[in-house]
Copies of this chain bind each other. A is one copy, B any other.
Amino acid sequence: MLRTAICDLFGIKYPIIQGGMAHVATAELVSAVSNAGGLGIIGAGASEPDWVREQIHRTREMTDKPFGVNILLISPFAKQVIEVVLEEKVAVVTTGAGNPGPLVPGFKEAGIKVMPVVASIALARRLERAGVDAFVAEGMESGGEIGQITTMALVPQVVDCVKVPVVAAGGFADGRGLVAALALGAQGVQMGTRFVCTDECIAHPAYKQAMVEASDRATIITGQSTGYPMRCLENKLTRAFIEKEKEDISMEEIMEFGVGKVRLGLIEGDLEWGTLLAGQICGMIKDIRPVKAIIDDMVASAEAIISRLAKDTTGG
């Protein structure tokens, strides 16, 4: 049985976490992942607090297993969303884009575990002192907002610099990746793109299908000049966005150009003019499947790989 420190920490069966993606990580996906033995995470994104509360309640109707909420600290509703999460006492909070350090004591008092997403070791070192429970170390092959360091280079460096458990993210979609993460010293994996390409995810079917058909080189990084680089499938929007970045226009104009585009891509399925957030591993994803099948296959495959490695090593 594949069980790690992260399973004990969160009270989950398998060390497989679903990234808290805005718009698409709703109660449907979250409950499916938690029911299958992983940890589902609601993506609060820039949503209003009532929406987040509703997702929490709906998730609880569909599962009695632990789940989490990802809080976008730069959201205009961040403060109210934090209030909701504290009241509802979800099991785990993950955070991106921002420093959750000052919030840690409040969450801990409410019995909520805190697991920030980090893309370099400097922030990890500082946040460990603030008392967080674990980290997601996320490589730049991830979809959505990204850093500069790849998973293979980042994960062992974060593992070496903190004492709490580390979850690896970026480039994971199967049991091979799960074993690779464990070998690097992580205690589990977080996956986004793979969990979007599932029956349960409410993302638009055209967007899911675009990822299934995507090649290894299908993604591109936009927003390098804005300081908020994002990885998504290349399309008319990304080409127009990158042209705009080259022009001598204000940062506000560039940011304004992106408003509403993520929803347009992920929920409305506009493949040309929507932002189609996707990790590089989309090139390996060839099907849309039920969440439970993905998790069961990952675990079985990981166990088989470990057995094979052990056999090869001792048999020579």
Contacts and interface: CB of A to CB of B under 8 A. Distances in A.
A184 B122 CA distance: 28
Interface residues of A, number: 50
Given A176-B183, A177-B184, A284-B157, A306 B303 contact: no
Interface in A273-316: 279-281, 283-284, 303, 305-307, 309-310, 312-313, 316
Contacts of A151: 150-152
A304 to B, nearest CB: 10
Nearest to A305: B183
Interface string A1-17: 11110000000000000
A78 interface: no
Interface string A159-189: 0100000000011101011011111110000
A62 to B, nearest CB: 27
A120 interface: yes
Contacts of A153: 141, 171, 216, 279-281, 283-284
A148 interface: yes
Given A120-B217, A177-B156, A2 B150 contact: no
Given A150-B150, A153-B279, 7 more contacts: A139-B150, A139-B152, A141-B152, A152-B170, A154-B280, A156-B176, A306-B313
Interface of A: 1-4, 120-122, 139-141, 148-154, 156-157, 160, 170-172, 174, 176-177, 179-185, 215-217, 279-281, 283-284, 303, 305-307, 309-310, 312-313, 316
A310 B312 contact: no
A118 to B, nearest CB: 11
A171 B183 contact: no
Nearest to A172: B152
A152 B150 CA distance: 8
Given A176-B185, A284-B160, A312-B4, A154 B216 contact: yes
B154 A177 contact: no
Nearest to A307: B310
A150 B140 contact: yes
A152 B180 contact: yes
A120 B183 contact: no
A160 B171 CA distance: 15
A281 B156 CA distance: 9
Contacts of A172: 152
B216 A149 contact: yes
A211 to B, nearest CB: 13
A185 B141 CA distance: 19
Contacts of A303: 313
Contacts of A283: 121, 153, 157
